[in-house]
Structure 1
Amino acid sequence: MARKGNKSGILAGLLAGAAAGVILGMLYAPEEGKKTRKKIRKKAEDLKDQASEKYKQAKEKAIDHYNDYSDKTKSKVDDLVSSVKDTYDKYKDKVKDKASSVAKDVESELDNLK
């Protein structure tokens, strides 16, 4: 599976290559300089808009993934906390009873030693 950084690098390279190709094509086209500059400016604005839209889409996708993982992580932590509390409640009384029993046995043994 390709890394996300590679995909954005490839996309940026493709956009830069396309822009360079368009600009070179326009510079060598047999048109008046004013028209060529106007075309280059228009194409640059179009490419800027496309790049801006791609950035916006990538940002929204990243935020969606973050929120999804955040929600999943919160759910897992809540489940874990609930499990720990349930286990604590389950064994709390047993431990208290055993501790009381041990304390009574110790007191009894101490009384026998007197």
Structure 2
Amino acid sequence: MSKKGNNNAGAVLAGLLAGAAAGVVLGMLYAPEEGKETRKKIRDKADDLANQAKDQYGQVTEKVKDQYNNISSQVKETTDKVVTSVKEGYDKYKTQAANTVAEVSKDIETELDGLK
């Protein structure tokens, strides 16, 4: 998930929670109840919203951790494949170069022996 996606999801979640809290508070303030009872309801609702926010935060955090672990694993696998490929290529061309040098060296010795 991109950082922009995380920011947008967080902003949407914060906006929803703030809107819900404002609606609950306004509804309770205009309800025809005693002030003490209204304050208790507001406090209870605020606690409920805080718990919901914590739950949502935990779920989002878990999803982000899972995605990070998946991406991290994919990067490690890809890196391992690239390193293996580079090593195999190096070994292959090193052997070919050594063989070519040996052949050229033999050819030079043969030519020099022919000139003697």
TM bin, normalised by shorter chain, reads 0.7 to 0.9
| 2:41 pairs with 1:39 | yes
Q: Percent of aligned pairs with the same residue?
A: 56
Q: 1:46-97, CA deviations, whole angstroms, 9 ceiling, x for partnerless residues?
A: 0000000000001000000000000000000011111111112212111112
- Structure 1 stretches lacking a partner, 5+ long: none
- Does residue 66 of structure 2 align to residue 55 of structure 1? no
Count, aligned residues? 111
Alignment of 1:56-95 (within 5 A): 56-95=58-97
Unpaired stretches in structure 2, ≥5 consecutive residues: none
Q: Report the Cα offset of residue 109 of structure 1.
A: 8.9
Please give the TM-score of this superposition, normalised by the length of structure 1: 0.83
Q: Which residue of 1 aligns with 2:11?
A: 9
* Greater RCO (Cα-Cα under 8 Å, separation 6 or more): 2
Residue aligning to 2:32:
30
**Secondary structure of 2:19's partner?**
helix
